[in-house]
Amino acid sequence: MVFNSYTFVAFFIVMLILHNLPISWKAKKINLLVASYVFYAAWNPPFILLLWLSTVVDFFVGRALYTQPNKHKRRLLLVISLIGNLGMLCFFKYGGFILENFVHLTNLLGFDYHPAKPNIILPAGISFYTFTTLCYTIDMYKKESKPVKSLLDFSLFVTFFPHLVAGPIVRPPQLVPQFETEHKATKDQLLNGLLLLTLGLFMKVVCADTLLAATSDMIFSSPGNMGPLDAWAGVLAFSGQIFFDFAGYSTSAIGVAMCLGFILPQNFLYPYAAIGFSDFWRRWHITLSSWLRDYLYIPLGGNREGKFRTYINVMITMLIGGLWHGANWTFVAWGGLHGLYLWVEKAIKDSRARISGNPDGDIPAPVIIQASFAPMRPAKTSGGFIYAFFTFLLICVTWVFFRSATFTGAWRLLHSMLGQAPPSGPPILTTADVVKVGIVITLMLAFHWYMRNTTVLKTASKMPWWLTGVVWSFLIIMIVLSQQTGKAFIYFQF
């Protein structure tokens, strides 16, 4: 079931009615849990067992980790949890990828090994709910929070349908306390939630699917070289599509949860207004960034063991972050390129710090690392905008590897963008296609820059009620006119 479907509209109306009935809080939580399983079962019902197994194992292992006084037994329990969670993730998501690379390696060594291709179905959202349960068991091992008292609350924390399939990635302290006492949306919360849901669907249905997806697909599926205009239009279209698609889902998820009285963490803060690459990772997929910071980068040593180790830890974090997105070396290259950008940015900052006589004054702001939730720099100056635009263009280069299925296709497109490959045929895109992409991306960048230090709800609260109504009506009309079939969100595959 996807948010951008009439099935979900009916499902959500039923949930709102059930959640506002005069029944006990426990009954309402059971309704939410059953509804979450129904929501997930719409993709592939048998995988509910996988989700249920992960939930039950981590609930009891987490409690044992917190109460077990023996250090060696606690480590053994943590290993069991890690093997269980990461083992399932590796099998379903990376099983075919690992086998394919093993076959290539054995063939390079002279062995003629050709096994049957595995027929593994990827469970929807497995990367998201695996990270959700992992952070719980790791926190229990570190005793950074108390165990969840109720299996019902923990099950609902893991499977709560707004965030289940594509985030935001929530942590127990962010959501579990909200299940302990009755939560029902106030009038303002309901209106704000519906506004966010509408905005998220507009981003997905109108901006991503209707205006940009076709252009992006044409360029990235083209087998030959193309002119720079076609190449750049396709890459810019995907840069907009991936943002509107994923941020649209996160915005919808936050809105749906708010309509039920729950608050989910922010996941996007106008990332294409980022001034630099560390700023980008404070704004893009914030919950994944902070997860990698707290559960990977800092345990590796963070920036505590010298500059060389800092650089290595940054790169390891970004490479694994790339691999998290998909079982393909192009995703690893995408992460590695972001790691390289962050290296260069850190080197420049360190150099400026040495020149200013404060060599330790700017340590370091790499990646996600130190301040995913740090205050954003105001910097609404012409110089800041130019730096932000330059950052955006370099991020567009990384999207080439993210979207391309092969390195051959990625290199071909990069050469076309630079005008280094003569076109294989006539232009792929029409003038109207190019103009459409140009207008949409220009408006997107302008909106990001204007909104970089605020939020939609803050802005809406300052608008006259009639203007909010006009804008809201426009969004709904455009969604209805654009909706054809409910296309799945891009991040469902991750």
User: pLDDT digits over 275-322, tens only?
Assistant: 999 999 999 999 999 999 999 999 988 888 888 888 999 999 999 999
Positive or negative, the CA dihedral 97, 234, 443, 189 is: negative
Most confidently modeled of 43-57, 289-303, 347-361?
A: 289-303
Q: How many residues can be counted in the chain?
A: 494
User: pLDDT digits over 19-42, tens only?
Assistant: 999 999 999 999 999 999 998 888
pLDDT value for 380: 55
pLDDT value for 489: 65
Domain shared by 430 and 368, yes or no: yes
Q: What is the mean pLDDT of the chain?
A: 87
Domain shared by 207 and 85, yes or no: no
* pLDDT over 90 (residue 371): no
Does a structural domain hold residue 460?
A: yes
Q: Which domain holds residue 56?
A: 23-183
User: pLDDT digits over 248-274, tens only?
Assistant: 999 999 999 999 999 999 999 999 999
* pLDDT over 60 (residue 360): no
Domain shared by 178 and 292, yes or no: no
Q: Residues 325, 338, 415, 448: which is the catalytic one? A: 325
pLDDT band at 47 (very low <50, low <70, confident <90, very high): confident
198-232 residues labelled b (16+ CB within 10 A) or e (exposed): bbbbbbbbbbbbbbbbebbebbbebeebbbebbbb
pLDDT value for 81: 87
Own/partner long-range contacts of 213-220 (Cβ < 8 Å, ≥24 apart): 213/237, 213/241, 213/487, 215/429, 215/433, 215/436, 215/437, 216/241, 216/403, 218/428, 218/429, 219/413, 219/428, 219/429, 220/403, 220/404, 220/409, 220/413
pLDDT band at 493 (very low <50, low <70, confident <90, very high): low
Q: Which amino acid is at 115?
A: P
pLDDT value for 144: 84
Percent of the chain at pLDDT above 90?
Answer: 55
Least confident of 125-134, 197-206, 224-233, 373-382: 373-382
Q: What is the pLDDT averaged over residues 104-129?
A: 78
* pLDDT over 90 (residue 15): yes
Does a structural domain hold residue 266?
A: yes
Domain shared by 167 and 221, yes or no: no
Domain boundary among 148, 183, 218: 183
325 tagged catalytic:
yes
Domain shared by 246 and 126, yes or no: no
pLDDT value for 375: 38
pLDDT value for 41: 85
Does a structural domain hold residue 12?
A: no
Least confident of 58-67, 86-95, 172-181: 86-95
Domain shared by 176 and 195, yes or no: no
Domain shared by 119 and 267, yes or no: no
* pLDDT over 90 (residue 191): yes
Q: What is the pLDDT averaged over residues 154-177?
A: 90
* pLDDT over 50 (residue 335): yes
Does a structural domain hold residue 15?
A: no
pLDDT band at 369 (very low <50, low <70, confident <90, very high): very low
Domain shared by 471 and 446, yes or no: yes
pLDDT value for 370: 40
pLDDT value for 492: 59
Does a structural domain hold residue 143?
A: yes
Q: What is the pLDDT averaged over residues 128-143?
A: 89
Does a structural domain hold residue 38?
A: yes
Token code pair at residue 218:
């044409």
SS (H, E, C) the chain: CCCCCHHHHHHHHHHHHHHCCCCCHHHHHHHHHHHHHHHHHCCCCCHHHHHHHHHHHHHHHHHHHHHCCCHHHHHHHHHHHHHHHHHHHHHHHHHHHHHHHHHHHHHHCCCCCCCCCCCCCCCCCHHHHHHHHHHHHHHHHHCCCCCCCCHHHHHHHHHCHHHHCCCCCCCHHHHHHHHHCCCCCCHHHHHHHHHHHHHHHHHHHHHHHHHHHHHHHHHHCCCCCCCHHHHHHHHHHHHHHHHHHHHHHHHHHHHHHHHCCCCCCCCCCCHHHCCCHHHHHHHCCHHHHHHHHHHHHHHHCCCCCCHHHHHHHHHHHHHHHHHHHCCCHHHHHHHHHHHHHHHHHHHHHHHHHHHCCCCCCCCCCCCCCCCCCCCCCCCCCHHHHHHHHHHHHHHHHHHHHHHCCCHHHHHHHHHHHCCCCCCCCCCCCCHHHHHHHHHHHHHHHHHHHHHCCCCHHHHHHHCCHHHHHHHHHHHHHHHHHHCCCCCCCHHHHC
Domain boundary among 183, 206, 228: 183
Does a structural domain hold residue 2?
A: no
Positive or negative, the CA dihedral 56, 264, 443, 477 is: positive
User: pLDDT digits over 398-452, tens only?
Assistant: 999 999 989 999 999 999 999 887 887 888 999 999 999 999 999 999 999 999 9
Domain shared by 223 and 331, yes or no: yes
Instruction: Please count the structural domains in the chain.
Output: 2
Q: Residues 366, 289: contact at Cβ < 8 Å?
A: no
Domain boundary among 116, 151, 183: 183
* pLDDT over 90 (residue 104): no
Least confident of 60-69, 84-93, 190-199: 84-93
User: pLDDT digits over 210-260, tens only?
Assistant: 999 999 999 999 988 899 999 999 999 999 999 999 999 999 999 999 999
Domain shared by 323 and 391, yes or no: yes
Domain shared by 166 and 218, yes or no: no
Does a structural domain hold residue 1?
A: no
* pLDDT over 50 (residue 362): no
Domain shared by 332 and 201, yes or no: yes
pLDDT value for 186: 92
